[in-house]
Amino acid sequence: MGIFKMTYQMMLINFKDFGYWFWTLLYPLLLSTLFILTTSNITGDDMDDIPVGITEEHQLASTLDQVEILEVTETTEPEALTLMENEELSGFITDDNELIVTSSGLNQTILESVLNEIIQIYESGIPIENFSFDDNFIVETDADREPQVIMFYSLIAMMVFYTMFSSIEFMTTMQPNLSTMGARFQASPYSKIKMLMASAVGALGLGLLTNFIIIAYLMIFYQGTLFNALMPTIILLIFGNIAGIGIGFAVGLFPKINMNFKTFVGLIFLLTLTFSAGMIGPAVRVLVNENLPLLNDLNPVARLADTLFRINLMDNFDDYMMTLGILTGIAVVMFMFTLFALRRKQYDSL
């Protein structure tokens, strides 16, 4: 049997599985619809300027005045704390360029993003007068003025890793002690490498198909702009899908555990990573970053969501190659581990 026929057979296994289509297509579609409905009434035109306090003669005063969505007020730190408690200020920037806030929310998230970007510009040595803050911070689209778009990018990052379900099913089916088909595979002369490759190609094809359907749905029905860098986004999706396949292979190797339980554990784990990445709202992500900063640093879903946000809405490719490298590293390690484990497995009888 050639590798193309193997690929077709592997795709057919998932194609006939309603559970696979529910989690990889219907569930993301339902979440996308929910996010669109809940954010449709939040527009940039209705958004008030964000009040922020700074000290007198602050070094960033003239720069912050150029950012249209900020309302800058000169004050002292004690007065700023009182104003923040009374919800008259969203944050206060100290002389050391540290942002002080007394609560978490959309305004605080925007302030943190703007301040970090300004500091990066100063540290890079770019003349501040040559930098257009309108182009980098506030492009006049609804999406850029709505931090809740991180929910959409977290959703996309989550569904990219859903290819693990396809590879979990394949790996479980391939084990002789867990399925009749696995016994046939084990007794056949087919190359394990070819079968792994066929399964990976099939899972990648189905994964990209569902990804493109969701992206097309968002581009049609979401009022803002989510994809200003479409080709780099597609490349990220491909690498993310491959990483998800590798993770699924490794999870599917666990012996004496049926496929449904493996899928359930993988789903819960992935949803946990996605929630910490901000799928249920920017405030959750801010909370995680403040209390468990290492969690999202190691979270591939959060890293992918961050990179999607930066390249599409901030035109920032600083961590793009790093994210691709991490996803590639995950895929390579998982594929090598899977192949090594399969080659060493022995069975007393089939």
Chain-centre distance for alpha carbon 322:
14
Q: Given this model, what pLDDT does residue 329 score?
A: 95
340 CB-contact burial (10 Å; exposed 0-12 / middle 13-18 / buried 19+): exposed
Distance CA 69, CA 112 (A): 13
DSSP 26: I
Q: Given this model, what pLDDT does residue 103 score?
A: 83
Q: Given this model, what pLDDT does residue 178 score?
A: 55
pTM above 0.75, yes or no: no
- Residue 155's alpha-carbon distances to 5, 161, 320, in angstroms, are 33, 10, 19
Q: Given this model, what pLDDT does residue 141 score?
A: 40
Torsion of CA 288, 292, 294, 297, to 10 degrees: 0
Distance CA 115, CA 72 (A): 13
CB 313 within 8 A of CB 144: yes
Residue 189: phi and psi, rounded to 5, are -85, 10
- Can you give the pLDDT of all 350 residues of the chain as single tens digits? 566 676 776 677 666 777 778 878 898 899 889 888 877 654 444 456 889 999 888 888 888 887 878 888 889 989 989 999 888 899 999 888 888 988 877 788 788 878 887 777 777 665 555 445 544 444 444 334 455 687 889 889 999 998 888 888 777 776 655 556 555 565 565 666 777 788 888 889 889 999 999 999 999 988 778 898 999 999 999 999 999 999 988 888 776 677 777 778 878 888 888 887 777 666 676 677 777 777 777 888 888 988 998 899 888 898 899 999 999 999 999 999 888 877 655 544 44
Q: Given this model, what pLDDT does residue 321 score?
A: 94
DSSP 55: -
- Residue 269's alpha-carbon distances to 161, 251, 266, 276, 301, in angstroms, are 11, 12, 5, 11, 11
Distance CA 53, CA 77 (A): 8
